[in-house]
Structure 1
Amino acid sequence: MVTKKEEFIARMRKQVDELNYRWSRERDKFEAGLQHASADAGKEYEVKRQAYLKFRKDLKEKIVDLEVAGENAWDDLKDGVEDAWKSLATAFDKATSHFKK
């Protein structure tokens, strides 16, 4: 029987995988366009990319923490994972909306 914890972890992993796929597609477009952009645009892209990567790393670490947490503690950690997801999604949205201009 699958527990609520396992369902939550599976859902979060799926969301991260889907966002990583979208990031890879968008990143390729951005980097191709940067060849013809200013140096400032390249620097700004790098700042946004690093922010996204940091939030992604943080979320992955929180998911691992959640996996090893006991059944009683996982509910407390769940909020942190959800907050990390929101931060990652926001970083993605900011990066993609900025570079689609």
Structure 2
Amino acid sequence: MEKKEAYRKKFEAKLDEWKAEVDKLKAKAKQKQVDAETDYKDEIETIREKREELKGKLKKLEEAGEEAWEDLKQGIEKSSSELKNSVDRAIKKFS
């Protein structure tokens, strides 16, 4: 009878040990989820800022005279490229 009880206790101890390991994994997964959500929000905010910047430059273009629009072109191209890169980076990171 003693062997049976020792055997049972051995596996109960293993169950407790494995439960503790699972609890650690859950905590790590939760932290990774929080980190991923923060990264996601940061990427979305960057995209939003780049989009607003480009919209502002396009508004200036709309208001600019025929001679001045050439001066705005380089800034628009740069903003467009930065926005595209931000979107591409977010897609790659979260796909």
TM more than 0.5: yes
Correspondence list, 1:16-95, <5 A: 38-95=33-90
Q: How many residues align?
A: 64
- SS of aligned partner of 1:93: helix
Give the RMSD, CA atoms, in angstroms.
0.9
User: 1:94: Cα distance to partner?
Assistant: 0.6
Instruction: Tell me how far apart the structure 2 counterparts of residues 44 and 72 of structure 1 sit (CA, whole Å).
Output: 42
Larger radius of gyration: 2
Q: For 2:91, which of 85, 96, 101 is the aligned residue?
A: 96
Q: Secondary structure at the match of 2:41?
A: helix
- TM-score normalised by structure 1 residue count: 0.62
Higher RCO, 1 vs 2 (CA within 8 Å, ≥6 residues apart): 1
Distance in 2 (alpha carbons) for counterparts of 1:56 and 1:72: 25
More helix by share: 2
Length-normalised TM-score, structure 2: 0.66
Instruction: Output the amino acid matched with 2:89.
Output: K
